[in-house]
Amino acid sequence: MSKRRYKKSKRRKINRRKVGILLIILIIIIYGICNNMKPKYQSAETVNYQQASKINKCIVIDAGHGGEEEPGCIFGNVYEKTICLQIAEKLQAKLEKEYSKVVMTRTEDVNVYLNERARIANRENADLFVSIHQNALEDDDVTNGIETWYNPEKDKESEILAQNIQDNIIESTGANDLGIKESDGLIVTKKTEMPSCLVETGFLSSTEEREKLTDEEYQNKIVEGIYNGIKEYFEQTENADTNINGNNV
Ligand SMILES: [Zn+2]
What is the 158 CA–ligand 1 centroid distance (Å)? 19
* Domain made up of 48-244: CATH architecture: 3-Layer(aba) Sandwich (3.40)
Centre of ligand 1 to C-alpha 11, Å, is 94
> Whose CA is closest to 87, among 225, 227, 223?
223
Phi, psi of 182 (to 5 degrees): -95, 140
d(Cα 180, Cα 199) in Å, to the nearest integer? Answer: 9
Ligand 1: centre distance to CA 157 (Å): 23
All structural domains of the chain with their residue ranges: 1-38, 48-244
Residue 242: per-residue pLDDT: 43
How close is the Cα of 63 to the center of ligand 1, in Å? 9
Q: How many other C-beta atoms can be found within 10 angstroms of the C-beta atom of residue 117?
A: 23
- The rounded Å distance from CA 114 to ligand 1 centre is 11
Q: Is 40 helix (H, G, I), strand (E, B) or coil?
A: coil
CA–centroid distance, 124 to ligand 1, in Å, is 23
For each of the chain's 249 residues, which pLDDT tens digit applies? 445 555 555 556 657 777 666 777 666 666 655 555 544 444 555 555 556 689 999 999 999 999 999 999 999 999 999 999 999 999 999 999 999 999 999 999 999 999 999 999 999 999 999 999 999 999 999 999 999 999 999 999 999 999 999 999 999 999 999 999 999 999 999 999 999 999 999 999 999 999 999 999 999 999 999 999 999 999 999 876 544 444 433
